[in-house]
Amino acid sequence: MKELDILELRNLYKNDMVFLTSHCSLRLEQRGITEDDIESALNSGTIIEQYPEDYPWPSCLILGYSDNRPLHICMGSNGEAAKLITAYWPNPEKWSADFKQRKENE
């Protein structure tokens, strides 16, 4: 399976080819994450983890920023469309200071 590319994901988003489930929409609402937050984080973001074996499509974890606040976005793509799986404000207790690496269970 191929790894995802941030530029391809940004292009799919720009072309309105990123979809989300009703469950994802509900979770974003519960977490206070807006479409503007997603767009800002995707445009400023970098892929920090790749999940090439995910089903039905390879996926990745993106670290981006919205209003200088770190946001993690998990997306999957088949190259023609993408799915927003989830997004969340990372917990500093579970992530390194730069929010790029998970802390080991202590």
What pLDDT does 104 receive?
Answer: 81
* DSSP 8-state class, residue 95: B
Q: Could you tell me if residue 1 is inside a domain?
A: no
Q: Could you tell me if residue 33 is inside a domain?
A: yes
In tens, the pLDDT along 30-87 reads 999 999 999 999 999 999 999 999 999 999 999 999 999 999 999 999 999 999 999 9
What pLDDT does 105 receive?
Answer: 66
Percent of the chain with pLDDT over 70: 97
Q: Could you tell me if residue 87 is inside a domain?
A: no
Q: Could you tell me if residue 54 is inside a domain?
A: yes
pTM for this prediction: 0.94
- The total of structural domains in the chain comes to 1
Could you tell me the residue range of the domain that residue 72 belongs to?
A: 6-80
Higher per-residue confidence, 89 vs 2: 89
Q: Contacts for 91-100 with beta carbons within 8 Å, 24 or more apart?
A: 99/63, 99/70, 99/72, 100/48, 100/63
